Amino acid sequence: MGFLERLDRNIAKLEKRIAKEETRISQLEEKFENKKITKAKLNIEKRKIQERIKAMQSRIQTLRGITVKEKQRLEEKAEEKRKKEEEKEKKKAEKIKEEIEKEE
């Protein structure tokens, strides 16, 4: 489960970064309202931050897709293992039956 845990941690880190970037946007808007920066400067910085947020959101989406695929792969692997074990048990049961029939 190490790989899935790392993916989940990376998703959490990216979500924290997005929250920080959103606070930066609100800080920029406060500066604009207090007349410390111009509207043009606000728009430029805001656009840069929004592009970073969008990039992080797409990475999160990709990581979530990878997580889903990995979970499916692990489930399939476990199912195959169960099937193999069932086949082994059936073979053992058949061998025991044959041995009993031979003894009779």
The arithmetic mean of pLDDT across residues 4-28, rounded, is 96
Exposure b/e, 65-81, CB count within 10 A at least 16 = b: eebeeeeeeeeeeeeee
pLDDT at 91: 86
Half-sphere exposure of 33 (CA within 13 A, CB side): 6
- Rounded mean pLDDT, 59-66: 96
Average the pLDDT over 17-22 and give the result.
97
Q: What is the pLDDT of residue 90?
A: 87
pLDDT, tens digit (0-9, with 9 covering 90-100), for 85-102: 999 998 888 888 888 877
Looking at the chain, the whole-number percentage of residues with pLDDT higher than 70 is 98
